């Protein structure tokens, strides 16, 4: 595991914009198009109805990942979960996911829900190993081929 620290961030911070843009390029390579057309606004990730986090390496503060959640009824919807390729397989995503769950629990959310796709086997493996279970599709890509929706009770 790479030594990282996780900090709260605003979705409109330059470092977040850089990570999200890299995430969209990765998704575009996997799925085509823009990568993800789900409508998102910076205000979606403001407490108490959301939060956003950045993982940085200890020592040089280099950003290696990010994730956020926004309120979806009584649930927290995971959005923009991303780990840079050089940091993958080192526990960064698992630590970010734990921060999301802790933040959502503290905000009174009942579950964390998410949409992913069938061309992200590493994400699917992470979610399933962390206790997420398949649910009926619910979000922007509901009804699209290859969409996989998951939830975990908090």
> pLDDT grade, residue 28 (50/70/90)?
very high
Sequence-distant (≥ 6) Cβ neighbours of residue 80 within 8 angstroms: 19, 20, 23, 40, 52, 66, 67, 68
Task: Compute the average pLDDT of residues 92-117.
Answer: 98
Band the pLDDT of 140: cuts 50, 70, 90. Answer: confident
Beta strand residue intervals within the chain, DSSP E = 4-8, 50-57, 63-72, 75-83, 111-117, 133-135, 147-153
pLDDT exceeds 70 at position 97: yes
CATH class of 4-110: alpha beta
Q: What per-residue confidence (pLDDT) applies to 66?
A: 98
Domain boundaries, the chain: 4-110
**Once rounded to an integer, what is the mean pLDDT over residues 114-133?**
97
Q: Once rounded to an integer, what is the mean pLDDT over residues 9-16? A: 97
- Whose CA is closest to 83, among 118, 57, 108, 106? 57
pLDDT in tens, 80-96: 999 999 999 999 999 99
Amino acid 17: pLDDT: 97
**Residues contacting 59, CB < 8 A, separation 6+:** 3
pLDDT classification of 110: cutoffs 50, 70, 90:
very high
pLDDT score for 34 = 87
pLDDT of 1 over the 60 cut: no
Mean of all residue pLDDT scores within the chain: 96
């Amino acid at each position: 595991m790479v030594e990282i620290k996780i900090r709260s961030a605003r979705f409109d911070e330059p470092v977040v914009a850089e990570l999200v843009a890299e995430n969209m390029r990765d998704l575009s390579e996997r799925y085509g198009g823009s990568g993800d057309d789900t409508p998102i606004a910076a205000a979606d990730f403001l407490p108490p109805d959301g939060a956003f986090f950045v993982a940085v390496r200890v020592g040089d503060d280099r950003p290696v990942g990010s994730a956020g959640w926004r309120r979806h009824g009584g649930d927290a919807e995971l959005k923009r979960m991303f780990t840079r390729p050089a940091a993958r397989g080192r526990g960064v995503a698992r630590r970010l996911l734990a921060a999301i769950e802790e933040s959502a629990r503290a905000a009174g959310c009942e579950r964390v829900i998410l949409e992913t796709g069938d061309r992200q086997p590493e994400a699917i493996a992470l979610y399933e190993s962390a206790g997420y279970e398949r649910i009926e599709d619910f979000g922007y890509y509901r009804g699209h081929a290859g969409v996989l929706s998951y939830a975990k009770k908090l």
